[in-house]
């Protein structure tokens, strides 16, 4: 029996080469995708910077306009001051001229002097109210100018709500650095934020309020005083003192007149 003849040629497989080529294509695809995503992120960052720049430019323009308005107010105030001084000087001069009119004169001269006196009387009557009017305008401009230069000086009125009906509230302002009692026997009591848990006057105040039939604490929270409020309300709860909260918008002085009127 004859042997099977061996193949004189060996076959070559292309599978490894195709696998490598597919891997290379995949890697290139991932690199292209990563580069595209990176460029998109850069474009997003550029758009954000452009938006921030435009926002800053708008704020600068608004501040410049406000500054120009304030400068105009200052110029008006200076002008009114000058007008007031001139009006006062003219009034003083006219009064002096009137007092110099002699009494022992001829009838003709007396007629002339009386006519001049009447003219002076009329002029004095015309300008006697000018200083007061100008001073009112100056005071008005000063108030407006002060509000523009010190926007935080405007009062913040606390509006009464339905939750405060039939209660005896004690208002405590929460600031970034501590609390201030705004009314009641302990009015103007200041306690630092870090001392709230160990302040004997604050604890005694909470105990007195909690012992009242309708006593409650209303914490008035400034924008930067949330952490202070959390500590103060925690101490109030630990002393079984009823308490609530109201947000305060702005940095001006707190006005409680509407609460007092509602209680009255």
pLDDT tens string, the chain, 264 residues long: the values are 455 545 555 555 555 666 777 777 877 887 888 777 777 766 666 667 667 777 777 877 787 787 777 777 777 777 777 777 777 777 777 767 666 656 565 667 766 777 777 777 776 666 666 667 667 777 777 776 666 555 544 566 666 654 455 788 999 999 999 999 998 888 889 999 999 999 999 999 999 999 998 899 999 999 889 999 999 999 999 999 999 998 888 777 888 877 765 555
CA-CA distance, 221 to 219, in Å (whole number)? 6
pLDDT of residue 196: 93
Q: If DSSP states are collapsed to H, E and C, what string results for the chain?
A: CCCCCCCCCCCCCCHHHHHHHHHHHHHHHHHHHHHHHHHHHHHHHHHHHHHHHHHHHHHHHHHHHHHHHHHHHHHHHHHHHHHHHHHHHHHHHHHHHHHCCCCCCCHHHHHHHHHHHHHHHHHHHHHCCHHHHHHHHHHHHHHHHHHHHCHHHCCEECCCCHHHCCCEEEEEEECCCEEEECCCCCCCCEEEHHHHHHCHHHHHHHHHHHHCCCEEEEEEECCCCHHHHHHHHHHHHHCCCCEEEEECCCCCCEECHHHHHHHC
pLDDT of residue 230: 95
Q: How far is CA 150 from the centre of its chain?
A: 9
CA–CA distance from 220 to each of 112, 121, 188, 189 (Å)?
A: 73, 59, 14, 15
Q: If DSSP states are collapsed to H, E and C, what string results for 139-152?
A: HHHHHHHHHHHCHH
Buried b (16+ CB within 10 A) or exposed e, 58-95: eeeeeeeeeeeeeeebeeebeebeebbeebeeebeebe
pTM here? 0.43
pLDDT of residue 23: 78
């Amino acid at each position: 029996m004859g042997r099977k003849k061996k193949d004189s040629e060996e076959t070559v497989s292309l599978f490894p080469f195709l696998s490598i080529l597919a891997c290379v294509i995949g890697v290139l695809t991932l690199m292209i995708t990563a580069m595209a995503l990176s460029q998109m992120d850069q474009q997003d960052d550029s758009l954000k910077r452009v938006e921030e720049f435009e926002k800053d430019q708008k704020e600068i323009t608004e501040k410049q306009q406000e500054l120009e308005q304030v400068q105009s107010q200052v110029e008006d105030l200076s002008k009114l001051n000058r007008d007031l001084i001139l009006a006062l000087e003219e009034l003083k001069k006219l009064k002096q001229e009137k007092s110099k009119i002699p009494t022992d004169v001829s009838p003709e001269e007396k007629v002339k002097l009386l006519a001049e006196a009447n003219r002076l009387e009329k002029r004095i009557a015309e300008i006697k109210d000018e200083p007061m009017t100008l001073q009112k305008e100056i005071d008005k401009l000063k108030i407006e100018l002060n509000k523009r230069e010190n926007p935080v000086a405007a009062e913040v009125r606390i509006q009464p709500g339905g939750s405060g009906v039939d209660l005896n509230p004690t208002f405590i302002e929460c600031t970034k650095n501590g609390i201030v009692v705004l009314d009641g026997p302990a009015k103007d009591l200041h306690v630092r934020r870090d001392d709230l848990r160990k302040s004997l006057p604050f604890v005694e105040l909470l105990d007195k309020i909690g012992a009242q039939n309708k006593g409650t604490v209303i914490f008035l929270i400034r924008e930067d005083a949330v952490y202070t409020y959390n500590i103060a309300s925690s101490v109030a709860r630990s002393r079984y003192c009823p308490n609530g909260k109201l947000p305060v918008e702005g940095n001006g002085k707190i006005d409680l007149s509407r609460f007092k009127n509602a209680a009255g």
